[in-house]
Amino acid sequence: MTLPTPAADRTALVTGASSGIGEQIARELVRRGHGVVLVARRKEKLVALAEELSASGVRAEVLAADLSDRDARADLPNRVADLGLTVDILVNNAGLSTLGPIATSDPDAEMNMIEVDVVAVADLCSRFVPAMVERKRGGVLNVASTGAFQPLPGQAGYGAGKAFVLSYTRALDGELKGTGVHATALCPGPVDTGFGEAAGFDKADAEAALPAFMWETAEAVAKCGVDGLDKGRPVAIPGPANRVGAVFAQLAPKRLLVPILASRHPGLK
């Protein structure tokens, strides 16, 4: 088991904890006795969750922050230190997607997505991993996607961003061998959260494009990710269908696969 032992002055910082997978990862960590620092923009949602989680006896704190803002990210280590806590587990979960072809994309929306999905992940790892290595204990759970295993026409920037997170996390875990710190990339397939609506997916279209056996609950995805980190796995993919799909996506010639994906993606209809 590689997850650090919970203690009163140690915490797990979970980004994007105000809904969906991040909220469930926070719940899963609390179930295992870890205190949490909940990070996202919607403070009222974080406060309600922290109040509920605190009732189980662990310490749950709220740090509202917009992770697209470089100064807000840079402030996080000091804000955690001001609470008298050290971050033993970092969960980079906050994320979003744009939808549709690059040819009609909004440059600001694309840059905002890349700042949250990609830049913030690398930024927070650079800010929190050094102290974990010094303490010889820690864990990093970065949320990628099965969209990381192949190009994703219709969500090109999102898929490429998640490919970054997957490659970065595998490399980080390789660098960390023997330090007492581990890193896991969690690669979910489709999950019914606020994600699809925020991206502009029509729920019926998304369900038609992605068969029912690929969908996993946010609870199951969270458990798979925390289990993966605890077992020291570099990559965790929730659900057998998504694990098979990931192998196929990596092996299939992209010259054949990409046109098929482009013809089926709801964002390109």
Residue number, 18 or 184, with CB nearest to ligand NAP: 18
C-beta of 7: minimal distance to ligand NAP in Å?
A: 26
C-alpha neighbours within 13 Å on the C-beta side of residue 61: 21
Which distant-in-sequence residues (6+ apart) come within 8 Å of 8 by Cβ?
35, 59
Q: Does 210 bind ligand NAP (CB under 6 A)?
A: no
Residue number, 6 or 23, with CB nearest to ligand NAP: 23
Vertex 147 angle, CA 143 and 150, to 5°: 130
Q: Does 194 bind ligand NAP (CB under 6 A)?
A: yes
Give the type of residue at 161.
G
What is the Cα–Cα distance from 34 to 89, expressed in whole angstroms? Answer: 9
Q: Does 95 bind ligand NAP (CB under 6 A)?
A: yes
DSSP annotation string for 86-155: EEEEEEE-------S-GGG--HHHHHHHHIIIIIHHHHHHHHHHHHHHHHT-EEEEEE--GGGSS--TTS
Q: Does 122 bind ligand NAP (CB under 6 A)?
A: no
- The residue from 128, 149, 158, 195 that is catalytic is 158
C-beta of 22: minimal distance to ligand NAP in Å?
A: 5
Alpha-carbon Rg for the chain, nearest whole angstrom, is 18
Q: Does 239 bind ligand NAP (CB under 6 A)?
A: no
Q: Is the dihedral of CA 15, 82, 43, 25 positive or negative?
A: positive
C-beta of 180: minimal distance to ligand NAP in Å?
A: 26
Q: Is residue 61 classed as helix, strand or coil in its secondary structure? A: strand
What is the Cα–Cα distance from 245 to 222, expressed in whole angstroms? Answer: 19
Segment near ligand NAP (CB under 6 A); pick from 50-58, 73-81, 176-184, 189-197: 189-197
Q: Is 158 a catalytic residue?
A: yes
Residue number, 15 or 150, with CB nearest to ligand NAP: 15
Window 30-69: residues binding ligand NAP (CB under 6 A): 40-42, 66-68
Interacting residues with ligand NAP (CB under 6 A): 15-16, 18-22, 40-42, 66-68, 93-96, 116, 143, 145, 188, 190-191, 193-195, 198
As annotated, the active-site residues are 158
